[in-house]
């Protein structure tokens, strides 16, 4: 065991923030997707540009969906990118599992959010 | 869970007691939108019941079964299948169902929004503006030729025709809800919400304000009366016109008192000098099903008690109680109002 | 949070049992010293206490008191509704009662109760001697108790708010609610939200930085995960409602028309902001309860949770998705269908994490060693499972937009949320009372009374609330003080009332049990349930005798002899090397010891700060401005006195905690706990400001005509005004950055330091003043329109950060003058600088929005 961690110089490249963001990658992408569909839809409808809603919605869903898919398929690359890949094996396995499962749930939520665009018109209230 | 076991019979007993007074029930639809939602509700209740049963049975197995019989449940795979895949598939189906249902009203006859609206076969929609006020409903009929007339707390509509309600508010947020005809839609300051609904058979539906709007929110109801096309035309003809002349001595005295006491400052009775717009239009108030936003029966006695005692019947409403009248005077005014059919 | 890191992988412990960090027997006097240092003040002075156990007990007790009070209101309302056309309560009183019932249950019971459990259980579960900011939790408790009692008592003299717990304008604007009633809600609850945020800061830093050595993130107990996410959600959700409350109070008091449609405002903005808080709020309450359930299930099954990692996933996913549901409460407002579709989707997605947890619990129960142990806590857990599942299913129903059009604001929804909240939170809470009572008391609660309590509560609950589903479907709207007979609702309402009294009888049995058996103290059997987590180690006022090295999720199951070793003082920090209260500060991911965290003991300052702050808010409510200001000043002084001892400097370190590890006793910079707390505060501020940016853009979409291009509003001030303001903000940042470099050696202060500090503080004040002046000279007045109000709100929001930064700058100056600020001992300065940088950044974004956006959209 590490007898005296305090006397060792701080090893570079292992910030906790990167690891936390790596862990939360999926839901963070979902949040961005949510912003990217709801915000523009409200603004475009208010400005009388309903025809621009569909493409924005589909574009955001595609980009976010692909990002999540990539995270699920290649977690080690994402981890390296976010400087979250240097933990002991046991920890890394935990981080990877949780990140991928979260990304999977987020992918579902992103697709469900996008689904409305296929079925409903951009702006009317339909009552 | 034996506390639960005791419940259903009790509930059944209560159901039997309650009978079927469903004049405000979402489960007894009288129009296409409410019918679609009632069907959705049935699907949801059956599905939810099945899932609840599944969870209860699995929990019972997990708690009480001998080890060999419950071992199959104690697996990671159960969590993945039961907790992720199963709900995932269920909510996906429900989401699509719900989204399709939101657009389903567009296919109703006479409901298309675009230029093809006339093709629906049910003619032009009837246009009615409803204004929520603390604590009553102002109803304004807008006829095709631009003629508008006002009534209150009661909406009559013809069966089979689409009715387009223009919902606004004069003060705070209210919500327009007639469960037998459609889901609710809010009335919000600065906005106009449009609700289209239709009745598919004659009958009375009770509605009520569904957004808390202060003091007497509980006492802000109304009725929607669906009439056959001919009855509706007859009613419309009558109601669009001025108030009938009082026939009896009592009624004539009532009208004189009504006008002399300044009731016309707040109320309109078309065909008389009373032209106030603060309170409900009373031109044909005697012909309505109920009084005071559907909280009193329509009778001379109810008029009388409202005039004297309205702050007790509907606390905080904007009409002052008229203690200045003697009994005979109140009776006369009540008789006059009741005669305004 | 960028560089907190000496987290090295080489430190991983091999499987073989290593020698323990410290030798036994421990030197004489060590235990006595610990006891003396951690002693709880005796008698009435106990209100000075700051240690988590007494504070947690006050907190829990107060929450329970509010539960009972609000419950009595619930019973009175049920009496009123038992039969149609009843006039037992009357309109005014009933409307006040449902407002106070809802508000109290949500703000004064549910959130505080959960925070209380965090304060009470978390340090024990993490084998920390205390939470990292003990006085902050004591402050949070007293602020809440005083504010809560005053708020609740308004019901007794007809001063209670009557706008409903969600206080929708315009009903709550002065025009329709002229009295002080609504102000009691806005200021009282706003104040209590501050206390909730204080608790959240404590919990975030506590779970991430005071775990025992070896308890890496993957070994953290589920409850700690739940509390971490709970606190994170508070940080992002509460600011939205704080902003909404500020808007509404400012509109009520000064007529800035943000919610008035005729002046370009929109009452729906309130609903967006309120529910952006209000929906996550439900999960804020539920997640910790779910965490407690996970802990109890594992203990009663005597095995680790099946699907532990998936439960962590579920908690995190719920935490995020719940922020995408807020319009769920606005399905009937007439928004575009597609918008509703987005929110319906998120409402559906959030069902999956609940599914994961339910099946993980079932699987774990099925995997019990021998049989799943049926005790009072596990009965409450099973009851929870049933009620919560039913409530979750009706939740999926109301997420279906067309179904919601019917049941929204009806008794169906009343039934639904009571299933979710009582099922999802109150039942786990009672399970918790029975499960963890032995940890803080001399003996457990009674199993026999516990079972009575459970069955009465479970039966009564279902009898009371199940019929409400039916009443709602039959058309009964919520928040009605009376109803007409013969609509089919009469029978259901009567049954509901009967059920409510049965439920209350169950709670009464619990109170009897509490009075008969609950005696706070430490002499009980240490681990009566044979549980696996650290809160069941032998405890005393100082928490555990030594802080264990942890190698498993359930250390008491997997590390045999741990309890004995810990009690013998053979693990870390068996003593008090600095002579005061302290615990080990560890790294966030790997939990490696980094520092000895010195903590303050009992004191008056946090208590006085709470009293005066409560006084400030409450006196302001009743418009006694001068006494209010006096209280405000007193509160600031008390806070400064409180803060004065918190930056002790490195004088006593480094010290040994055993196992050859020597730790510093003082840290500054990104690894220190103060820095972390400051970062959390900045997240709160950022969230508040983002809510503001949303409001600005939202109102623009509703009323672009009141923006400068619309013609009715004066043109924006000339670009030189915002440029001057921006220049001052940048200068302030530069001056503070420069100050950091001038800090000298101890006892050799430099004259440049105070000069730069003062100049920096002056610059930010000037920047805000110029921004306000620019708009004022253009002829714009905040009462003109919603646009004008929002323009001035930007300065109000930046102004309050700047005001705090200026007070802290003065404090830092005082530290410098008294020789308590130097190159090493610099935490005070760092925190002040962080806040100032944040304020400057926010100010710059505000300038960009207020001056850039209208120019861009022309």
- DSSP class of C213: T
C243's tokens = 């902003």
The pair phi, psi for residue C225, each rounded to 5°, is -60, -50
What is the phi-psi region of residue C482: left when phi exceeds 0, alpha when psi lies from -120 to 50, beta otherwise?
Answer: beta
Instruction: Give the length of chain A.
Output: 127
CB atoms A11 and C337 under 8 Å = no
- Judge contact between C333 and B176, C-beta under 8 A: no
Mean pLDDT of chain A, nearest integer: 86
> Residues C181-200: pLDDT tens digits?
999 998 888 888 888 999 99
Query: Which letter does DSSP use for residue B268 in this model?
Result: B
Q: Is the pLDDT of residue C8 over 50?
A: no
Instruction: Outline where C645-751 has alpha helix (H).
Output: 673-702, 720-742
Per-residue pLDDT averaged across C579-591, rounded? 93
B277-300 exposure pattern, b = at least 16 Cβ within 10 A, e = fewer: eebbbbbbbbbbebbbbbbbebeb
Residue C234 main-chain phi, psi, to 5 deg:
-60, -40
State how far the Cα of B80 lies from the Cα of B87, in Å rounded to an integer.
10
Contact C92, B315 (CB under 8 A): yes
Q: Please judge whether A34 and C12 are an interchain contact, meaning their C-beta atoms are less than 8 angstroms apart.
A: no
Enter the tokens of residue C804: 């705090």
d(CA C450, CA C458): 12
Distance from CA of A93 to the nearest CA of C (A): 9
Name the nearest CA neighbour of C163 among C175, C153, C172.
Answer: C172
Which C-chain residues 256-285 have CB contacts (< 8 A) with chain B?
A: 260-262, 265-268
The residue among C781 and A122 whose pLDDT is bigger is C781
Q: Write phi, then psi, for C524 (nearest 5 degrees).
A: -70, 175
Contact list, C168 vs chain B (CB under 8 Å)? 172-173, 211-212
pLDDT of the residue at C647: 84
CB C587 within 8 A of CB C561: no
CB contact under 8 A, A127 and B195: yes
**Closest Cα partner for C324 from A75, A35, B234?**
A35
Return the pLDDT at B194: 94
pLDDT at residue C653 in the model: 74
Interface size between B and C, measured as CB pairs under 8 A: 310
- Residue % of chain C over a pLDDT of 70: 98
Q: Considering only B7-11, C384-388, C502-506, which range has the smallest mean pLDDT?
A: B7-11
Nearest CB partner across the interface for A46, out of C317, C663, C701: C701
What is the SS3 string spanning chain A?
CCCCHHHCCCCCCCCHHHHHHHHCHHHHHHHHHHHHHHHHHHHHHHCCCHHHHHHHHHHHHHHHHHHHHHHHHCHHHHHHHCCCCCCCHHHHHHHHHHHHHHHHHHHHHHHHHHHHHHHCCCCCCCC
Interface contact flag, B103 A119, Cβ < 8 Å: yes
Distance CA B166, CA B192 (A): 6
Cα–Cα distance, B51 to B54 (Å, whole number): 5
Taking contacts as CB-CB distances below 8 angstroms, the residues of chain C near B61 are: 366
Dihedral angle over CA of C219, C220, C223, C228, nearest 10: -140
Kindly give the pairing relationship between strand B154-158 and strand C661-663.
Answer: unpaired
Shortest CA gap A113–chain B (Å): 10
Q: Identify whether the C-beta of residue C209 lies closer than 8 Å to the C-beta of residue C676.
A: yes
How far is residue B117 from each of residues B31, B196, B271, measured CA to CA in Å? 19, 13, 37
CA B162 – CA B126 distance, rounded (Å): 6
Q: Determine the residue among C336, C404, C664 to mutate to test chain A binding: the one whose Cβ has the most chain A Cβ atoms within 10 Å.
A: C336
Asked if pLDDT for residue C406 goes beyond 60, the answer is yes
Q: How far apart are CA C719 and CA A32, in angstroms?
A: 33
Query: Which residues of chain C from 686 to 705 reach within 8 Å of chain A, CB to CB?
Result: 697-698, 701-702, 704
CA atoms within 13 A on the CB side of B142: 12
Q: Return d(Cα C143, Cα C137) in angstroms, integer.
A: 10
Closest CA to C739 of C747, C122, C731, C396: C731
Tokens representing residue C78 in the block: 């049920």
Residues of C in contact with B99 (CB under 8 A): 341, 344, 401
Residue B167's CB: how many other CB atoms inside 10 A? 25
CB-CB under 8 Å, C372 with B62: yes
Min Cα distance B250 → chain C (Å) is 32
Q: Report the largest interatomic distance among the alpha carbons of chain A, rounded to a whole angstrom.
A: 69
CA distance, residue A71 to nearest chain C CA (Å): 15
In this prediction, residue B122 carries a pLDDT of 52
Share of chain C above pLDDT 90, in %: 84
Q: Which of A43, A88, A112 sits opposite C349 (nearest CB)?
A: A112
C555: Cβ contacts below 8 Å, ≥ 6 apart: C532, C533, C534, C548, C562
Residue C402 pLDDT > 90, yes or no? yes
pLDDT grade for C18, boundaries at 50, 70 and 90: low
**CA nearest neighbour of C298 among C12, C130, C82, C531:** C531
**pLDDT tens, position by position, C216-261:** 999 999 999 999 999 999 999 999 999 999 999 999 999 999 999 9
Chain-chain contact of C393 with B80 (C-beta, under 8 angstroms): no
Contact call for residues C365 and B6 (beta carbons, < 8 A)? no
C residues 423-482 lying closer than 8 A (beta carbon) to A: none
Using the structure block, give the residue that is written with the tokens 């975030």. Answer: C204
Question: Is the predicted pLDDT of residue C747 greater than 90, yes or no?
Answer: no
Contacts of B96 by beta carbon, 8 Å cutoff, 6+ apart? A115, A119
DSSP-derived pairing of the beta strands B174-176 and B136-142? unpaired
Find chains touching chain C: ≥3 CB pairs under 8 Å.
A, B
Could you tell me which residues come within 8 angstroms of residue C327 by beta carbon, excluding any fewer than 6 positions away?
C272, C275, C335, C339, C340, C342, C343
Percent of chain A with pLDDT over 90: 65
Min distance C653 CA to chain A CA atoms (Å): 12
This prediction's pTM = 0.93
> What distance in Å separates the CA atoms of residue C196 and residue C115, rounded to the nearest whole number?
8
Answer yes or no: is pLDDT of C767 > 60. yes
**Chain C residues with CB inside 8 Å of A11's CB?**
5-8
Tens-digit pLDDT profile for residues C317-368: 999 999 999 998 999 999 999 999 999 999 999 999 999 999 999 999 999 9
Sign of the torsion formed by the C-alpha atoms of C317, C323, C329 and C335: negative
Please report residues of A whose CB lies closer than 8 A to that of B185.
127
Say which of C362, C374, C400 has its CB closest to residue B98: C400
Most C CBs within 10 A among B90, B132, B210, hence the mutation to make, goes to: B210
Q: Let me know: does C391 contact C416? Beta carbons within 8 Å.
A: yes
Decide: B214 and C176 in contact? Cβ < 8 Å: yes
Contacts of C457 (CB under 8 A, 6+ apart): C383, C427, C430, C503, C506, C507
Name the residue facing C473 among B25, B82, B216 (closest C-beta): B25
C358 token code pair: 């339910």
Work out the pLDDT band at A84, boundaries 50, 70, 90: confident
Report the residue from B48, B171, B215 with minimal CB separation from C95: B215
Q: Residue C6 pLDDT more than 60?
A: no
Distances (CA, A) of C629 to B204, C148, C379, C618, C636: 59, 21, 51, 11, 11
- A119 with B96: Cβ contact below 8 A: yes
pLDDT value of residue A127: 77
A127 contacts in B (CB within 8 Å)?
105, 185, 193-196
CB contact residues (below 8 A), chain C span 664-703, against chain B: 702
Q: What is the DSSP letter of C705?
A: G
Which residues in chain A have Cβ-Cβ distances shorter than 8 Å to C268? none
Query: Mean pLDDT, chain C, as a whole number?
Result: 93
Interval C647-655 mean pLDDT: 82
Whether A8 contacts chain C with CB within 8 A: yes
- Residue C745 confidence (pLDDT): 82
Residues of B in contact with C364 (CB under 8 A): 74
CB contact under 8 A, C342 and A113: yes
Chain C, 810 to 829: residues with Cβ < 8 Å from chain A are none
C265-320 pLDDT tens trace: 999 999 999 999 999 999 999 999 999 999 999 999 999 999 999 999 999 999 99
Structure confidence at residue C652 (pLDDT): 77
Q: What are phi and psi of B221, to 5 degrees?
A: -115, 180
- Please check the confidence at residue C1 and state whether its pLDDT lies above 60: no
Tokens (6 digits) for C205: 């830093």
CA distances to B14, C213, C362, C558 from C312, in Å: 43, 21, 16, 21
Are C246 and C792 in contact by the 8 Å Cβ rule? The answer is: no
pLDDT band at C651 (very low <50, low <70, confident <90, very high): confident
Query: Are the CB atoms for B135 and B219 separated by under 8 Å?
Result: yes
Is there a contact between B92 and A112 (Cβ–Cβ < 8 Å)? yes
Question: Residue C201 — very low, low, confident or very high, per pLDDT cuts 50/70/90?
Answer: very high
Shortest CA distance from A108: residue in chain C: C349
Mean pLDDT of C791-806: 97
Q: Are A56 and A42 in contact (CB under 8 A)?
A: no
* pLDDT tens, chain B, 341 aa long: 344 444 444 444 444 444 447 899 999 999 999 999 999 999 999 999 999 999 999 999 999 999 999 999 999 999 999 999 999 999 999 999 999 988 877 766 555 443 333 333 356 789 999 999 999 999 999 988 889 999 999 999 999 999 999 999 999 999 999 999 999 999 999 999 999 999 999 999 999 999 999 999 999 999 999 999 999 999 999 999 999 999 999 999 999 999 999 999 999 999 999 999 999 999 999 999 999 999 999 999 999 999 999 999 999 999 999 988 999 999 999 999 999 99
Q: Do B185 and A127 touch (CB under 8 A)?
A: yes
Task: Tell me how close the Cα of A81 comes to any Cα of chain B, in angstroms.
Answer: 29
């Amino acid at each position: 065991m590490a007898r005296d961690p305090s006397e060792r110089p701080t090893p570079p490249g292992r910030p906790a923030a990167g690891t936390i963001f790596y862990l939360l990658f999926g839901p963070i992408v979902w949040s961005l997707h949510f912003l990217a569909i709801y915000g523009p839809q409200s603004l475009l409808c208010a400005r009388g540009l309903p025809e621009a809603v569909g493409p924005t919605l589909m574009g955001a869903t595609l980009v976010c969906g692909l990002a999540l898919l990539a995270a699920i398929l290649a977690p080690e690359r994402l981890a390296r990118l976010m400087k979250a890949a240097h933990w002991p094996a046991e920890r890394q396995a935990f981080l990877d599992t949780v990140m991928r499962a979260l990304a999977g749930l987020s992918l579902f939520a992103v697709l469900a959010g996008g689904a409305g665009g296929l079925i409903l018109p951009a702006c009317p209230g339909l009552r | 869970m034996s506390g639960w076991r005791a419940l259903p019979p009790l509930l059944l007993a209560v159901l039997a007691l309650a009978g079927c007074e469903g004049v405000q029930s979402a489960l007894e639809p009288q129009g296409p939108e409410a019918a679609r939602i009632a069907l959705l509700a049935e699907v949801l209740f059956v599905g939810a019941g099945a899932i609840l049963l599944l969870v209860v049975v699995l929990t019972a197995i997990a708690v009480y079964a001998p080890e060999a019989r419950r071992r199959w449940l104690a697996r990671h795979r159960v969590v993945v299948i039961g907790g992720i895949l199963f709900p995932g598939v269920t909510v996906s189906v429900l989401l699509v169902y719900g989204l399709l249902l939101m657009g389903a009203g567009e296919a109703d006859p006479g409901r298309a929004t675009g230029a093809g609206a006339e093709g629906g076969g049910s003619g032009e929609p009837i246009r009615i503006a409803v204004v929520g006020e603390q604590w009553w409903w102002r109803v304004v009929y807008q006829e095709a030729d631009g003629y508008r007339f006002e009534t209150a707390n009661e909406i009559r509509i013809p069966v089979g025709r689409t009715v387009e309600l223009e919902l606004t508010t004069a003060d705070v947020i209210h919500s327009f809800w007639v469960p037998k005809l459609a889901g609710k839609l809010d009335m919000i300051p600065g906005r106009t919400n449009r609700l289209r609904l239709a009745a598919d058979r004659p009958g009375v539906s009770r509605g009520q304000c569904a957004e808390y709007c202060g003091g007497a929110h509980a006492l802000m109801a109304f009725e929607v009366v669906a009439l056959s096309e001919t009855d509706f035309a007859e009613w419309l003809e009558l109601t669009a016109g001025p108030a009938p002349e009082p026939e009896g001595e009592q009624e004539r005295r009532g009208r004189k008192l009504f006008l002399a006491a300044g009731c016309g400052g707040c109320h309109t009775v078309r065909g008389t000098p009373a032209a106030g717009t603060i309170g409900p239009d009373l031109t044909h108030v005697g012909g309505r099903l109920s009084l005071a936003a559907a909280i009193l029966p329509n009778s001379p006695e109810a008029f009388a008690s409202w005039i004297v005692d309205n702050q007790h019947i509907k606390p905080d409403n904007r009409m002052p109680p008229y203690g200045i009248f003697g009994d005979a005077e109140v009776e006369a005014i009540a008789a006059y109002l009741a005669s305004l059919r | 949070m960028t560089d907190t890191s000496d987290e090295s992988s080489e430190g991983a412990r091999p499987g073989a049992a290593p020698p323990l960090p410290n030798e036994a027997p421990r030197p004489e006097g060590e235990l006595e010293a610990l006891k003396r240092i951690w002693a709880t003040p005796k008698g009435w002075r106990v209100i000075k206490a700051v240690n988590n156990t007494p504070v947690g007990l006050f907190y829990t007790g107060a929450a329970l008191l509010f539960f009972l009070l609000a419950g009595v209101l619930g019973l009175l309302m049920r009496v009123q509704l038992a039969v149609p056309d009843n006039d037992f309560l009357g309109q005014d009183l009933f409307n006040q009662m449902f407002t106070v019932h809802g508000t109290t249950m949500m703000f004064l019971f549910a959130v505080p109760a959960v925070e209380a459990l965090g304060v009470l259980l978390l340090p024990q579960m993490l084998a920390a001697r205390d939470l990292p900011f003990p006085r902050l939790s004591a402050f949070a408790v007293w602020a809440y108790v005083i504010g809560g009692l005053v708020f609740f008592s308004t019901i007794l003299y007809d001063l209670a708010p009557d706008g409903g717990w969600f206080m929708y304008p315009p009903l709550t604007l002065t025009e329709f609610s002229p009295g002080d009633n609504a102000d009691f809600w806005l200021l009282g609850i706003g104040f209590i939200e501050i206390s909730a945020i204080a608790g959240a800061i404590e919990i975030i830093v506590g779970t991430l930085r005071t775990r025992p050595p070896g308890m890496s993130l993957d070994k953290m107990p589920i409850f700690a995960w739940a509390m971490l996410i709970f606190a994170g959600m508070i940080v992002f959700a509460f600011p939205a409602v704080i902003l909404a409350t500020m808007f509404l109070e400012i509109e009520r008091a000064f007529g800035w028309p943000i919610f008035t449609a005729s002046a370009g405002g929109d009452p729906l903005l309130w609903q967006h902001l309120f529910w952006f808080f209000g929906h996550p709020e439900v999960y804020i309450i539920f997640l910790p309860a779910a965490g407690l359930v996970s802990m109890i299930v594992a203990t009663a099954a005597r095995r680790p949770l099946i699907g532990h990692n998936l439960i962590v996933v579920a908690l995190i996913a719920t935490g995020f998705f719940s922020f995408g549901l807020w319009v769920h409460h606005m399905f009937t407002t007439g928004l575009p269908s597609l918008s509703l579709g987005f929110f319906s989707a998120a409402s559906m997605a959030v069902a999956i994490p609940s599914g994961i947890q339910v099946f993980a619990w079932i699987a774990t129960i099925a995997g019990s060693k021998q049989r799943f142990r049926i005790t009072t806590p596990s009965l409450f857990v099973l009851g929870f499972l049933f009620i919560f599942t039913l409530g979750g299913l009706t939740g999926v129903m109301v997420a279906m937009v067309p179904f919601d059009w019917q049941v929204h604001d009806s008794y169906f929804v009343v039934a639904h949320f009571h299933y979710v909240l009582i099922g999802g939170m109150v039942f786990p809470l009672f399970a918790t009372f029975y499960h963890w009572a032995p940890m803080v008391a001399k003996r457990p609660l009674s199993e026999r009374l516990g079972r009575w309590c459970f069955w009465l509560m479970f039966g009564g609950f279902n009898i009371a609330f199940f019929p409400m589903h039916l009443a709602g479907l039959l058309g009964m709207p919520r928040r009605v003080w009376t109803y007409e007979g013969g609509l089919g609702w009469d029978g259901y309402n009567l049954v509901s009332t009967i059920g409510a009294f049965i439920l209350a009888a169950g709670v009464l049995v619990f109170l009897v049990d509490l009075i008969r058996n609950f005696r706070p103290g430490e002499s009980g059997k240490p681990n009566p349930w044979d549980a696996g987590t650290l809160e069941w180690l032998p405890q005393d006022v100082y928490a555990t005798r030594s802080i264990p090295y942890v190698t498993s999720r359930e250390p008491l199951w997997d590390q045999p002899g741990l309890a004995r070793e810990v009690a013998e003082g053979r693990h870390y920090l068996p003593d008090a090397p600095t002579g005061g209260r302290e615990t080990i500060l560890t790294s966030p991911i790997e939990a490696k010891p980094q520092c000895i965290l010195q903590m303050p003991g009992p004191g008056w300052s946090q208590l006085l700060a709470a009293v005066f702050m409560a006084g400030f808010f409450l006196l302001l409510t009743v418009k006694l401005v001068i006494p209010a200001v006096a209280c405000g000043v007193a509160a600031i002084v008390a806070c400064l006195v409180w803060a004065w001892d918190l930056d002790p400097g490195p004088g006593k370190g480094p010290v040994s905690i055993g196992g050859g590890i020597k730790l510093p006793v003082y840290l500054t910079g990104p690894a220190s706990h103060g820095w972390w707390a400051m970062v959390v505060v900045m997240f709160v501020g950022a969230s508040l400001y983002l809510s503001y940016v949303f409001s600005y853009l939202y109102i623009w979409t509703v009323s672009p005509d009141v923006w400068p291009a619309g013609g009715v509003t004066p043109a924006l001030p000339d670009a030189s005004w915002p440029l001057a303001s921006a220049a001052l903000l940048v200068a302030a940042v530069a001056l503070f950055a420069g100050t950091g470099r001038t800090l000298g050696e101890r006892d050799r202060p430099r004259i440049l330091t105070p000069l730069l500090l003062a100049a920096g503080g002056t610059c930010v004040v000037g920047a805000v003043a110029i921004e306000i002046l620019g708009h004022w000279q253009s002829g714009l007045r905040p009462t003109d329109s919603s646009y004008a109000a929002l323009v001035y709100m930007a300065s109000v929001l930046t102004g309050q950060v700047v005001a705090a930064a200026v007070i802290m700058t003065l404090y830092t100056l005082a530290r410098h003058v008294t020789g308590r600020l130097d190159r090493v001992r610099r935490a005070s300065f760092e925190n002040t600088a962080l806040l100032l940088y944040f304020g400057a950044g926010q100010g710059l974004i505000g300038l960009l929005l207020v001056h850039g956006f209208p120019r861009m959209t022309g």
